[in-house]
Amino acid sequence: MYASVADLRAEGVTAAAASDARLELLLDEATRLIDRVTGWFFEPRTATFRLDGRGAPSVEPPVPPIRVDRLALGDSELSLAFEDLVVVGAPIQPGFDAPRLTLRHCRVFPRGRGNVVVEGRWGFTEDDGSPEGRTPLAVRRACLLLILRNLAPLADDASFEARSRWRLLEERTRDQSYRLDAAKQGARALTGDPEVDVLLAPYVRPSPLGAA
């Protein structure tokens, strides 16, 4: 999950507003929603993927690879030295455009459906100096905001107003008025919450190379 119960308690969510068990459920729901609307996930997870070989040196996994533990073509294991395989994945570095696994030395992944089997650790993580990286801070914040929005009606009026500011287009006082950032209001609709969508928009999975 992209945040913790402790994170929510630090945001002011009391036990009277929601139990630990309730918050765990909301964290799981928010994490699943973020995965669905962005197209990939943002924490290290162990998984096996079957990819289609296209007679080219590269294949594009659905999530950035953090570590490749096994690579096979059909039933044939590939024994590759580190210098034989180029991994474009996570922790994400500047210039990242899409996850890729590329064979060197003029080798190609033969054409086939699901004939490339890759096991390892996966996830769109950002560099924090550790081998696997961390959940991007913007994604963590989006996860928290999704839950705070759901809990807001249970909170006091002041807290509800603060958490509902994303709904406002303009505010006026006796002497002045201002409109909120138009760019935020026009952000791509992902969750229905513009503030959350602004945070998540840079992390939406791009269309695969060669897609129409």
Q: What is the pLDDT, as a whole number, of residue 183?
A: 46
Residue 172 lies in a domain: no
State whether 95 and 150 are in the same domain: no
Distance in Å from the first CA to the final CA of the chain: 33
State whether 16 and 61 are in the same domain: no
Residue 35 lies in a domain: yes
State whether 106 and 72 are in the same domain: yes
The domain in which residue 118 lies consists of 45-122
State whether 56 and 16 are in the same domain: no
Residue 15 lies in a domain: yes
- Residue where a domain stops, chosen among 122, 155, 175: 122
SS3 126: strand
Q: What is the pLDDT of residues 62-121, one digit of tens each?
A: 999 999 998 888 767 766 665 788 999 999 998 898 999 999 888 899 999 999 999 999
State whether 50 and 116 are in the same domain: yes
Beta bridge partners of 56: 109
Structural domains of the chain, count: 2
State whether 78 and 101 are in the same domain: yes
State whether 52 and 108 are in the same domain: yes
**Whether the predicted pLDDT of 158 surpasses 60:** no
Q: What is the pLDDT, as a whole number, of residue 141?
A: 96
State whether 79 and 106 are in the same domain: yes
Measured in whole angstroms, the distance separating CA 67 from the mean position of its chain's CA atoms is 17
| Among candidate residues 146, 142, 149, 144, the one with its CA nearest the CA of residue 163 | 149
Q: Which residue has the tokens 């229905």?
A: 192
Residue 69 lies in a domain: yes
Contacts 24+ apart (CB under 8 A), 176-179: none
Taken in order 30, 36, 40, 46, the sign of the CA dihedral is positive
State whether 38 and 105 are in the same domain: no
DSSP state letter for 118? E
Q: What is the pLDDT, as a whole number, of residue 79?
A: 65
How far is 199 from 182, CA to CA, in rounded Å?
Answer: 15
DSSP state letter for 197? H
